[in-house]
Amino acid sequence: MQLKIRLETENDYRAVEELTREAFWNVHVPGCCEHYLIHTLRKSGDFIPKLDFVAVSDGHIVGHIAYSKARLLDPSGTSHPVVTFGPLSVLPPLQKQGVGSTLINHSLSEAKKKGDKAVFIYGDPRYYSRFGFHCAEKYDIKTSFGKYAVALLALELCPGVLCGISGRFVESTAYDVDMKTCEEFDKTFPPKEKSHTPTQDEFKVIASLMY
């Protein structure tokens, strides 16, 4: 499979939302809200258009990644800018074929060129460790509510930039999804059945590992 990575355009918006819905449906919860998240994230002042990429194969969008601004708050209240990505979406039949890895590697390279110093995400460390991510506890960084979390991961794009910075990771308020509005938005797509899957149980375990 040959992939072309390019910036998302306005003409791609609905196709990306459809792709995202397919990629996340019943994965973390029955149904999903990630397609609504990307729909609203684009309207946020924290959204980073220069790091909004699609993967194209045979003229069709098969993957997408979006970045937004975030920050670290140290104990003195000083804010340190970082970035975060998500959702990362790949068309289900093409998952585990390198589409996601290509999007991550390309976007991390572009973020570094742009001058970003560090990337924080919530994700599965078993997957993201291959890209150099470490549990944020390594840098004494906690969640916004003051807990170490196994799923909170960090990557230094500039080596040593996180040394000496402890504190809390605060992502954009754009990630605070209103579920009722999400349900209304989902009605504009073809109906899909919500169901329980083993991946939901696994997600709950990883997300619960805090202390």
Q: pLDDT by residue (tens digit) across 182-211?
A: 999 999 999 999 999 999 999 999 999 999
Within 9-109, strands assigned E span 53-57, 60-73, 79-90
Whether 1 shows a pLDDT value over 90: the answer reads no
Domains and CATH numbers, the chain: 4-173+181-208 (3.40.630.30)
Q: What is the mean pLDDT of residues 159-179?
A: 95
CB 35 within 8 A of CB 85: no
Closest CA to 37 of 83, 89, 104, 95: 89
Cβ(144)–Cβ(171) below 8 Å = yes
Q: Which of 8, 36, 13, 37 is nearest to 174 (CA)?
A: 37
